[in-house]
A = this chain, B = another copy of it.
Amino acid sequence: MTKTLVAPDTREATRARLERAALDLFTARGFEQVTADEVAEAADTSRRTFFRCFESKADAVWGDFAAHVRRLDAMLAATPAGQPVLGSICAAYVEVNAYADDALPMLRQRMRLILTEPALLAHSQVRYGDVDRVVAAHVARRTGGRPDALVPRLVAASTRAAATTAFETWLDDVRLPLARALHDAFDELSAGFPSLR
């Protein structure tokens, strides 16, 4: 009961244990079929602690997504001014999703859950809202308009749609590199869907 003597039992460690337990249980039995109590128990802690580490059951799947968004923001800001806007967004998406090979299985597990489980798919809308705001702000900076105007919003929403679709096809095809999937989707989008002609 008291691993406290071994490791100082920091919040981060508990959080990491919960995250692994959640990912595995959700994958094995489905998101809805697993209670927060069960995840907590599997991580050798309590329900109360679970909800101190994560705002919601769904958040346990997302890791530190806020940091992810912050990195995306920084990459967009560091983008060369001459680069086309869509190209800069694509590059940022690719770079922020450039995981080491040994991190890919966990990413797959996460994304499969998020795109497969209805409750998690719903929750994703909230998370992606942050992404959209960051991208729209970038577009507004580049075009000199307001971030809530049509074009920045539309670019943010449709590039995110492209990224999500890329993730879906990446999940379906084990041999397709993620960067390739993203480039394919962005190319199609930025050329006005040449495949349709």
The 0/1 profile, CB within 8 Å of B marked 1, for residues 173-197 of chain A is 0000000010011001111110111
> What is the copy number of this chain in the assembly?
2
C-alpha gap A154/B165 in the complex (Å): 6
Residues of B within 8 A of A168 (CB): 153
Instruction: Given A150-B188, A191-B192, A196-B143, answer yes or no on A164-B157 (Cβ-Cβ < 8 Å).
Output: yes
Q: Considering only CB atoms, which chain B residue lies closest to A123 in the complex?
A: B122
Q: Considering only CB atoms, which chain B residue lies closest to A164 in the complex?
A: B157
Q: Can you report 7 A-B residue pairs in the complex whose CB atoms are below 8 A from each other?
A: A85-B196, A150-B184, A151-B195, A151-B196, A154-B161, A157-B162, A158-B158
Q: Write the residues of chain A forming the contact surface with B, with a CB cutoff of 8 angstroms.
A: 84-86, 118, 121-126, 129, 139, 142-143, 148-151, 153-155, 157-158, 160-162, 164-166, 168-169, 172, 181, 184-185, 188-193, 195-197
